[in-house]
Amino acid sequence: MPEVPLRLGQAALVAGYREGRFSPLEVARTALDRAEGGLARLNGLSSLDHEMTMEAARASAARWRENRVLGPLDGVPISFKDSFHIKGLPRWHGTACHPGKLSAADALPVRGARAAGMIPVCKTAMPDFAMLMSGLSSHHGIIRNAWNPDDSPGGSSSGAGPSVVLGAAGVALGTDMVGSVRLPAALSGLASIKPTQGRIAYDPPGAFRSAGPMAASVDEVELTLAALGHFAEGDHFSAEGGYRPDPGCRPTGRRIALWRRAGWGDATDAETLAAVDLAAGLLADRGAEIVEIADLEADAQDYEAIHWNMLHVGAPDYFGLPPQARGRIHPVIGAMYEALLTQTAIFAAGVRHRLLVASARIAAQLAGFDHVLSPALPVRRFAADLPCPDPGLGMASHQAFACWFNQTGWPAATVPVLDPGDGGVPVSVQIAGKRFDDGGVIGLARVLEAARGFDIRWPSPFAEGAQ
């Protein structure tokens, strides 16, 4: 068999396809092997179908032979979070409460990836109903990190990061309601973006989540956003037009708010502070104006409203099930849902009102800035068997830097910038920007990626991981 690159990145794959050194068939077989090997050992694999994947690979191989490729991602393997529907594959939504019913049709982002010639390889594991930002699942067990199986991969797109790190996919698509793409990407040393709300069409329609890609480089993230980021009739919340790159994006003249510490949740650890300070220096050296802010104008009750609203959004999935099925939920997540039974509709309406008021206040606070530079999450790592870094602070103790950009609908990207020097996962930062400035956000992430001064030493895709 021709030698396939360890990392299934777009540039190496396209070069190999063009030069005839290997084809999408060999790449698809390699991706499937790694999904069923290392990814499954980390409990990061939800489901796959060999014939579905190989059928897409055969079609891509034919296009490459006949010089009629569909674009720069033709033949690139992609994984999808278990929350997405893929025709013929089971969907558990991360939970043993569900029987894993086979999906009847592809979700809109899956259809977009197929239209770009990408090869769906597998669905990746997640916590029950996407209600944790860690890897605890009643169906999958403890989902683990590819860099160190004792560590959490984050959530709720928990298996997405390991699928790219281990070479089961070149790109992973997750979903993000309070940080569920950005946190797993940062904990796996990957670049990512939660685009402007509605930039990637999603079904069923909703104004409360975004689909977002993560990959080993900013270029691959942007190519995926360009392929998927356009209006679709099936999502009336999707944004008109399509994603537009900003090839001329430069830090010069940009006014950037530096947000180093949040007054709620986990304290920012030393390595993360060092990464943010490094990124601020790199952007300042390239002409950006960096202005430190003490914190966002949000209090503990505002953050509690984020938590309750997330549960309110997911409540119909859980309470719509019969009691016997509900009894199979992960106990940590079940306890969070059961707490809703003491609440009233008036309380839920108050939660939503508080979020609208807080979001407007934060948007006004940041109105004078082009971008916000912050940690992606306050800690570099936490234990795989924990729901969050510090359960004493609540199940979302690590979401403070991520969650408000969902509420404002702004794009936010992550990129690794600091090599800690211990062989572990590099430390990432987050760049956020105003609505529809996805190109500017990605452009600054690319500047930081180019300036960071090191190549990432990825873990072996053949690591044994956890049993």
**pLDDT at res. 152:** 98
The number of CA neighbours under 13 Å toward the Cβ of 256 is: 31
Sign, Cα dihedral of 134, 139, 142, 147: negative
**pLDDT at res. 395:** 87
Distances in whole angstroms, Cα of residue 33 to Cα of each of 48, 122, 274:
11, 11, 38
Give the residue from 148, 150, 146, 139 showing the smallest Cα distance to 160. 146
Give the residue from 183, 156, 246, 104 showing the smallest Cα distance to 398. 183
Cα gap 83→129, rounded to integer Å: 8
pLDDT at residue 339 tops 50: yes
Render pLDDT for 239-257 as a digit per residue (tens, 0 to 9). Answer: 999 998 988 889 999 999 9
Which amino acid, one-letter code, is at 400?
A: A
What the chain holds in terms of domains, given with CATH numbers, is 10-228 (3.90.1300.10), 255-300+352-451 (3.40.190)
**pLDDT at res. 464:** 59
Cα gap 137→135, rounded to integer Å: 6
Q: In which band, very low, low, confident or very high, does the pLDDT at 5 lie, cut at 50, 70 and 90?
A: confident
Render pLDDT for 347-400 as a digit per residue (tens, 0 to 9). Answer: 999 999 999 999 999 999 999 999 999 999 999 999 999 999 999 998 889 999
Render pLDDT for 88-131 as a digit per residue (tens, 0 to 9). Answer: 999 999 999 999 999 999 999 999 999 999 999 999 999 999 99
Cα gap 128→394, rounded to integer Å: 17
**pLDDT at res. 466:** 40
Instruction: Report whether 113 contacts 225 (CB < 8 A).
Output: no
Cα gap 188→460, rounded to integer Å: 13
Instruction: Report whether 34 contacts 167 (CB < 8 A).
Output: yes
pLDDT at residue 84 tops 70: yes
pLDDT at residue 465 tops 60: no
Q: In which band, very low, low, confident or very high, does the pLDDT at 467 lie, cut at 50, 70 and 90?
A: very low
Which amino acid, one-letter code, is at 340?
A: L
Single pTM value for the model: 0.97
Q: Are strands 210-215 and 427-433 parallel, antiparallel or unpaired?
A: unpaired
Cα-to-chain-centroid distance, residue 418: 20
Give the residue from 152, 192, 200, 194 showing the smallest Cα distance to 177. 194
Render pLDDT for 303-333 as a digit per residue (tens, 0 to 9). Answer: 999 999 999 999 999 999 999 999 999 999 9
**pLDDT at res. 128:** 98
Under 8 Å CB-to-CB from 62, ≥6 apart: which residues?
none
**pLDDT at res. 1:** 57
H or E element in which residue 139 lies: none
Q: Which residue has the tokens 């480089």?
A: 217
Cα gap 167→46, rounded to integer Å: 16
**pLDDT at res. 421:** 92
Share of the chain above pLDDT 90, in %: 93
**pLDDT at res. 209:** 84
pLDDT at residue 22 tops 60: yes
Give the residue from 269, 207, 258, 277 showing the smallest Cα distance to 397. 269
Cα gap 11→4, rounded to integer Å: 13
Average pLDDT over the chain, rounded to whole?
Answer: 96
- At 210 the three-state DSSP class reads strand
- Give the DSSP letter string of 70-125: -STTTT-EEEEETTS--BTSEE-TT-TTS--EEBSS--HHHHHHHHTT-EEEEEE-
Dihedral of CA atoms 151, 460, 212, 251 in degrees, nearest 10, equals 100
Where do the DSSP E strands lie in 112-190? Answer: 119-124, 136-137, 141-142, 171-176
Share of the chain above pLDDT 70, in %: 99
